[in-house]
Chains A and B, each alone.
Chain A
């Protein structure tokens, strides 16, 4: 065993180096680094956050109705904006004051609309970036930009990058999990793709409308062998593999595969356990709520607790937050599903001492117009069109300065004007919180060192506590 384990230990040590050093790569460490791609690794410098949960409000939530109050917009309600509307995807008309009331919360007095009144109870822990900017008012490229840092080309997603950089603390579960009730968001699996990174870093997709473990993780159950007999079968396998390895001398690849069966055996129990909400006290379950978003968020917490690195929670299939008409009722309905689970999660993480090193991200792929969308004959649809020029993303937890608003949109909320934060900047900041210098966090592919932030990105210092 000694020699074999030595080889594995060496491999994982090499793999650390292989990620960041071309010297090590030259020495062939890239071969070794892929033997166990999910072994935990350290980043460039001391991290503020060790895991990430990303609430993806897909479809584009309206910032002027949630986290970016615009009194001027209400003043102009029904009148054309003095500046005239910017070009977005569809036609919009007059200013459309928010139908939701904003109140100030906490010591910081951070204003948040009634849509997120429960989340607002943690206002002093939230950092709202109000000056986010994407590129085009079109869902597909904006989703790609937010998730993968490029609107068009196949690039690894943020979760894949982070799992590649940090590995996973739990070898019995996938390192990066994307959950969505009811099926895929648009762009489907591209949202959590690993692209040119090894497949192990790709997000594992789970449809949380299902509750059976078999549907959540492929091949997690064996329907033709009771566990005790499987144990005996694996003991035999280990014996056969051991004899095989002994005849051949130390080989890290052989050793890693021997280990993988033991991991998988334990994973059968552990995964089922992670997804089994009946193990949670009634009080906790009630706090999160019984709606699928309560369930999904609570599962996410159990996964993070077990060392999963990155969990992305989508609101639903397709693009639920895309409210071109009747935004008042529609936004209220969706926010009500998320507000309680988010609030419960923050409280729960605090109670468990996990809040300080868990990064929470809440946001969509872009925002919505402050002007009202109109139909072909110019009639108001009481909704808002897509708006990439200005929108909000909320951060909380590990290393984030709570009770703050960073940057600003113009007085009507159309475009980010102050301390503009491009999506690449957000990525750079997230990587910074996780301990990475985003410019040095690279992967060599096609003769080039690729980055999540491509050739852009700056760390937004104001976000950091």
Chain B
């Protein structure tokens, strides 16, 4: 029986294997394409989307209101039809009622009813072809067509409640240390696999330390741990089975005996103590915080912004990063951790939110917790387009916490999961009613001069924005009032309006779509509120078809005008009586004129009587309130400028944005600034709006209103709308509800994933119907249940997982395979066969028969190098630091600058999570650019040097105490091995190292003595040219050499000197004419010279540059001769995107004379970089003069002789440094066993 099962398992795997190879070959040969094309695809592409989009709102099961009894979501529904008979006829396709309806062929049969929703000709033809071909209605995906949403919700594993199971029985009862192990072992045994033996203590401590700290252990820590383990083993050997009277003799039939024993053990073993020690260190938060930052798409910058107006750095994004690290270190319960990130502001003590459950997760928060909301606010800015910003928040939130891809439902119902568009907009409504605010993270600022200076300037910048913003809001409201007619007309074609990415260019006199949308929702609200004395005619006539407008409108209008109760507003009634209303446009004009004249009357009144509070006539006053009430559609919302910017024209936006960015810049730059965070805050209830579904995700097509509430999938049909403000707190509560089956599962899976390289569910942020099935579903639930039971403690979860036997396994595959068939295969063939068998059964080690070897990620790699070289700086928190700028920082990588717009190549090639999007997993790629970084980068070179220095110090120390010099080399090698690999070298390794060192030393290239730098004839500076006099008025040397260029300071452009720069080949003109770039040549002796040069300006934008060559005679007292008394301009050129030759045939110079090569910006500063290589040659040397080594230099090339601060050439690596670098580059350093 046993062997039979084994065979079968292999067989199935072989089949899969063959299938795999076939697929692989097909892909390679190009056969796999287009073979599946057919009806189902046509249907999925052309038909189903239209049905979903245009028909299902009324004709499907989902909405529960199949109008006219017609359901179009199954083939049966179509064939059966509704009250008027079958919808389709395959026999007579042309006659199908569905076709006739969608073509609007008949007056009474138009679907969708509105003309503007009518399907295109092409689309209705698609329907015809589909019916002709038999109207196949494939149930391809498990979506709403084949099964109802409820059915999916009821059957998909991840949507089911957590199920606590008893750990399964296993055959090998000696192996498990905990419940976790029994789940793992049971699966292994099912597949005829066995777990691997435990890893040796050295591997184990290295693994655990990297896991929890992202750093290697120190050699001392390793030795101590190894000793403890050895002592423990000795003790347990002494404790022969049965000697422990309490546990009794282990009995193989009693599977729980052993772990009960272990769990009851009073003294934790060395391994458990190790885990506790690691968890208690602040290094833990820095490691695990970074995992969370991947999910939160953390970045210190906003992504693309318009550079002329917006600051591209976030204000103190790092406050969020530091909060996350702290939260991990403090083991903030995960539910609390989430609540604070979603709604910390709602829990401030002064908020007094009532009716909160008395749970620890809902305790009041402190100001410093506001930083947590960075989770929502540090996404890309999408040039300010709100819908995209909200989408990014919904996406990050739902994938991170729930493992659900809710944002798929932005444009249509989720294709695979039971998430309707309505639910997306329920969440949209939550974020739509929030606004951003920058707040200090402490209410008690320091009483210092620096802080007071900071605050004063801050208040002044804030006031500037506030005043200007308020003024512009009034200005625009006034303008929109006078344009009421235009706006009401625009309302009739609202779905043709630009969407937000194009609002940017609206001019002041144009209709601006955001106001149209406000009008839209304003009228919608009035319509919802019952009889509308002002706009009732509008509401009633709005839906009428164009063709028959007049005849249908007349009776409605008459009815409204004649009715005594409820009665129309008097002014509206008389205006209606005065004009003919033959279309909605007529009606819009009528209302527009009425509103404008009311507005004019009001302004007149205010002119006469500044204290007037209302118009006298009630009807007039009611009309006035349309334009002046606080909920009037003409009001620019009083939110942060960034959220209201699209209500303004382009010019105003730039103006206000600059003021806003000046505040941000001050917060970022000022050293007196206290930490701030950009938080979300709910709108006051008077400003709250109910979200409407945007059909096809298009904000120009608002559909029905939806409550702010949680997903039906998780909250059930009887869910209640959110009660607190915009609902973020309710949303957080729903997410952390212990009955929610996803939150705990998703998080324990993420923890598992980072311990074992892959989660039990390999799609950690998608637990929907397309997710990978859990490899161990019961284990997942076991962990999730335990997680909740133990108070959502992440550290406790680490303890459980890391003390298990499965975590302690060796990573060596060979041991496993030889165990597998130890007794059946002849030893010679054993290795080959078994390895293959093994990989057939579980090639990717999903069953965890051994520990999966893992490569260090970028952060661990970089931090480990700093750690072993003894340089790691343990400081925590604070502003981000550029990791790749020299001199290199020695801070941990998590504090490095993450710039999503200019994401450094080094981070990209090492697969660091892209800060653009939520990243649940990092790919592990191997590309040669990584190797180039290891081999050649200055960073690695410096670490190798520092490590060698460290070892040399250590060796010297021990040499002093033990002066036997012949041990120095082996000792140094041993120290290197200890630091890098936490073990001693083997004899072979020692020999290899000694051989390498000796060989490298023997071939050490002889260092040529550094030649004394030749005095250079060139000087690099800037200054101003007196054009009229043709002389240089001022000349200052450029103060800083960057390694490539002379410039104002280490940053370019420099704060003081701006863009001026000189490089070997050319340079850049300074910001104004006083900062022209000047390359100066000083004549070393009297002679005649010629100048040959080409000036290049290769830029279209801007107005180009001007270039000059000026000869400046040295002033020698009493030696003034006629002709060289004054400077003289030798030539001037104006260039714009062109090249010119700038040559001087001959010129007499005296020793010390200067020739200046000057470039300025011409008219304005824009693309003023240039290339200008100059060759100066002595012209009065007789041709054919003998070559003489002592002959003085006779040509001067600006390019070849370009020098900076003369520094000695980099010292080549010594043999030891080469050796240390090689060891640092090795796989043993880069992989964790």
User: CB of B1052 within 8 A of chain A?
Assistant: no
Also in contact, A27 and B1000, with CB within 8 A (given A223-B1210, A254-B1227): no
**Which residues of the partner chain A approach B843 to less than 8 Å between Cβ atoms?**
27-28
**Which residues of the partner chain B approach A28 to less than 8 Å between Cβ atoms?**
843-844, 846
Task: Convert B918-959 into 0s and 1s, putting 1 for each residue whose CB lies closer than 8 angstroms to a CB of A.
Answer: 100001111111111111110001000000000000000000
Query: How far is A204 from B910 in the complex, measured between Cα atoms in Å?
Result: 14
- Whether B24 lies near A24 (C-beta < 8 A) is yes
- Who on chain A is nearest to B844 by CB? A28
Q: How far is the CB of A279 from chain B (nearest CB, A)?
A: 21
User: CB of A250 within 8 A of chain B?
Assistant: yes
- Whether B1226 lies near A237 (C-beta < 8 A) is yes
User: CB of A46 within 8 A of chain B?
Assistant: yes
**Which residues of the partner chain A approach B23 to less than 8 Å between Cβ atoms?**
17, 20-21, 23-24
Also in contact, A333 and B835, with CB within 8 A (given A198-B923, A446-B765): no
**Which residues of the partner chain B approach A31 to less than 8 Å between Cβ atoms?**
758, 844, 924
- Who on chain A is nearest to B387 by CB? A152
Task: Mark out the residues of chain B between 350 and 385 whose CB falls within 8 Å of any chain A CB in the assembled complex.
Answer: 380, 382-383, 385
- Who on chain A is nearest to B986 by CB? A243
Also in contact, A38 and B927, with CB within 8 A (given A189-B902, A437-B34): yes
Query: How far is A343 from B193 in the complex, measured between Cα atoms in Å?
Result: 65
Query: How far is A190 from B902 in the complex, measured between Cα atoms in Å?
Result: 9
User: CB of B416 within 8 A of chain A?
Assistant: yes
B-binding segment of A125-133, A257-265, A406-414 = A257-265
- Whether B916 lies near A154 (C-beta < 8 A) is yes
Task: Convert B814-853 into 0s and 1s, putting 1 for each residue whose CB lies closer than 8 angstroms to a CB of A.
Answer: 1000000000000000000001000000011010000001
User: CB of A75 within 8 A of chain B?
Assistant: no
Query: How far is A106 from B691 in the complex, measured between Cα atoms in Å?
Result: 60
User: CB of B778 within 8 A of chain A?
Assistant: no
User: CB of A1 within 8 A of chain B?
Assistant: no
**Which residues of the partner chain B approach A152 to less than 8 Å between Cβ atoms?**
382, 385, 388, 501
Task: Convert B1190-1233 into 0s and 1s, putting 1 for each residue whose CB lies closer than 8 angstroms to a CB of A.
Answer: 00000000000000000000111100001101110111101101
- Whether A257 lies near B927 (C-beta < 8 A) is no
User: CB of B909 within 8 A of chain A?
Assistant: yes
**Which residues of the partner chain B approach A26 to less than 8 Å between Cβ atoms?**
772
User: CB of A283 within 8 A of chain B?
Assistant: no
Query: How far is A438 from B4 in the complex, measured between Cα atoms in Å?
Result: 46
**Which residues of the partner chain B approach A267 to less than 8 Å between Cβ atoms?**
928, 932
Task: Convert A1-14 into 0s and 1s, putting 1 for each residue whose CB lies closer than 8 angstroms to a CB of B.
Answer: 00100000000011
User: CB of A350 within 8 A of chain B?
Assistant: no
**Which residues of the partner chain B approach A226 to less than 8 Å between Cβ atoms?**
1005, 1212
Also in contact, A233 and B1218, with CB within 8 A (given A136-B502, A244-B1226): yes
Task: Mark out the residues of chain A between 219 and 247 whose CB falls within 8 Å of any chain B CB in the assembled complex.
Answer: 219-226, 229-230, 232-234, 236-237, 239-241, 243-245
Query: How far is A229 from B1002 in the complex, measured between Cα atoms in Å?
Result: 12
User: CB of A253 within 8 A of chain B?
Assistant: yes
- Whether B908 lies near A199 (C-beta < 8 A) is yes
User: CB of B789 within 8 A of chain A?
Assistant: no
**Which residues of the partner chain B approach A256 to less than 8 Å between Cβ atoms?**
926
Q: Which of B846, B902, B1223 contacts A240 (CB 8 A)?
A: B1223
- Who on chain B is nearest to A199 by CB? B908
**Which residues of the partner chain A approach B24 to less than 8 Å between Cβ atoms?**
13-14, 16-17, 21, 24
**Which residues of the partner chain B approach A187 to less than 8 Å between Cβ atoms?**
304
- Whether B925 lies near A200 (C-beta < 8 A) is yes
**Which residues of the partner chain B approach A46 to less than 8 Å between Cβ atoms?**
30
Query: How far is A451 from B254 in the complex, measured between Cα atoms in Å?
Result: 55
- Who on chain A is nearest to B912 by CB? A199
Q: How far is the CB of B849 from chain A (nearest CB, A)?
A: 14
Q: How far is the CB of A34 from chain B (nearest CB, A)?
A: 4
**Which residues of the partner chain A approach B405 to less than 8 Å between Cβ atoms?**
446-448
- Whether A257 lies near B1227 (C-beta < 8 A) is yes
- Whether B771 lies near A447 (C-beta < 8 A) is yes
Q: How far is the CB of A293 from chain B (nearest CB, A)?
A: 9
Q: How far is the CB of B845 from chain A (nearest CB, A)?
A: 9
**Which residues of the partner chain A approach B941 to less than 8 Å between Cβ atoms?**
224
Number of interface residues of A (CB under 8 A): 114
Query: How far is A31 from B839 in the complex, measured between Cα atoms in Å?
Result: 14
User: CB of A248 within 8 A of chain B?
Assistant: yes
User: CB of B1101 within 8 A of chain A?
Assistant: yes
Max chain B C-beta neighbours (<10 A), residue from A27, A182, A250: A27
Task: Convert A99-139 into 0s and 1s, putting 1 for each residue whose CB lies closer than 8 angstroms to a CB of B.
Answer: 00000000000000000000000000000000000001110
**Which residues of the partner chain B approach A42 to less than 8 Å between Cβ atoms?**
27-30
**Which residues of the partner chain B approach A259 to less than 8 Å between Cβ atoms?**
926
- Whether B853 lies near A264 (C-beta < 8 A) is no
**Which residues of the partner chain B approach A181 to less than 8 Å between Cβ atoms?**
1098
Q: How far is the CB of B610 from chain A (nearest CB, A)?
A: 35
- Whether A202 lies near B1218 (C-beta < 8 A) is no
User: CB of A85 within 8 A of chain B?
Assistant: no
**Which residues of the partner chain B approach A236 to less than 8 Å between Cβ atoms?**
992, 996, 1219, 1222
User: CB of B592 within 8 A of chain A?
Assistant: no
- Whether B933 lies near A233 (C-beta < 8 A) is no
- Whether B855 lies near A261 (C-beta < 8 A) is no
User: CB of B1169 within 8 A of chain A?
Assistant: yes
Query: How far is A36 from B909 in the complex, measured between Cα atoms in Å?
Result: 12
**Which residues of the partner chain A approach B906 to less than 8 Å between Cβ atoms?**
218
Q: How far is the CB of B632 from chain A (nearest CB, A)?
A: 27
**Which residues of the partner chain A approach B1098 to less than 8 Å between Cβ atoms?**
181-182, 209, 291-292, 316
Task: Convert A157-201 into 0s and 1s, putting 1 for each residue whose CB lies closer than 8 angstroms to a CB of B.
Answer: 000000000000001101000000110000111100111101110
**Which residues of the partner chain B approach A251 to less than 8 Å between Cβ atoms?**
813, 853
- Whether A233 lies near B1222 (C-beta < 8 A) is yes
Task: Convert B440-465 into 0s and 1s, putting 1 for each residue whose CB lies closer than 8 angstroms to a CB of A.
Answer: 00000000000000000000000000
Query: How far is A17 from B27 in the complex, measured between Cα atoms in Å?
Result: 6
Q: How far is the CB of A441 from chain B (nearest CB, A)?
A: 9
- Whether A219 lies near B20 (C-beta < 8 A) is no
User: CB of A320 within 8 A of chain B?
Assistant: yes
User: CB of B537 within 8 A of chain A?
Assistant: no
Query: How far is A464 from B768 in the complex, measured between Cα atoms in Å?
Result: 41
Q: How far is the CB of B1210 from chain A (nearest CB, A)?
A: 5
Query: How far is A259 from B928 in the complex, measured between Cα atoms in Å?
Result: 9
Task: Mark out the residues of chain B between 1142 and 1163 whose CB falls within 8 Å of any chain A CB in the assembled complex.
Answer: none
User: CB of A69 within 8 A of chain B?
Assistant: no
- Whether B502 lies near A44 (C-beta < 8 A) is no
- Whether B932 lies near A268 (C-beta < 8 A) is yes
User: CB of A79 within 8 A of chain B?
Assistant: no
Query: How far is A8 from B1228 in the complex, measured between Cα atoms in Å?
Result: 19
**Which residues of the partner chain B approach A90 to less than 8 Å between Cβ atoms?**
505
**Which residues of the partner chain B approach A218 to less than 8 Å between Cβ atoms?**
905-906, 929, 932-933, 937
Q: Which of A19, A229, A447 contacts B27 (CB 8 A)?
A: A19
**Which residues of the partner chain A approach B932 to less than 8 Å between Cβ atoms?**
217-220, 264, 267-268
**Which residues of the partner chain A approach B1222 to less than 8 Å between Cβ atoms?**
233-234, 236-237, 240
- Whether B1218 lies near A229 (C-beta < 8 A) is yes
Query: How far is A26 from B16 in the complex, measured between Cα atoms in Å?
Result: 10
- Whether A264 lies near B844 (C-beta < 8 A) is no
* Contacts beyond the supplied A199-B912, A223-B936, A257-B855: 11 A-B pairs with Cβ under 8 Å: A21-B27, A27-B20, A41-B27, A190-B901, A199-B910, A219-B932, A229-B1000, A249-B814, A253-B855, A260-B930, A320-B1100
The 10 closest A-B pairs by CB, nearest first: A28-B844, A264-B931, A44-B33, A17-B24, A447-B766, A263-B928, A154-B916, A447-B405, A198-B923, A264-B928
Q: Can you name 13 A-B pairs with beta carbons within 8 Å?
A: A14-B24, A21-B32, A28-B846, A45-B33, A141-B501, A199-B907, A223-B936, A226-B1212, A249-B812, A265-B935, A316-B1098, A333-B1137, A446-B405
Q: B-contacting residues of A (Cβ < 8 Å)? A: 3, 13-14, 16-17, 19-21, 23-24, 26-29, 31, 34-38, 41-46, 89-91, 136-138, 140-141, 151-154, 171-172, 174, 181-182, 187-190, 193-196, 198-200, 202, 204, 209, 211, 217-226, 229-230, 232-234, 236-237, 239-241, 243-245, 248-251, 253-254, 256-261, 263-265, 267-268, 291-292, 316-318, 320, 330, 333-334, 435, 437, 440, 446-448, 455
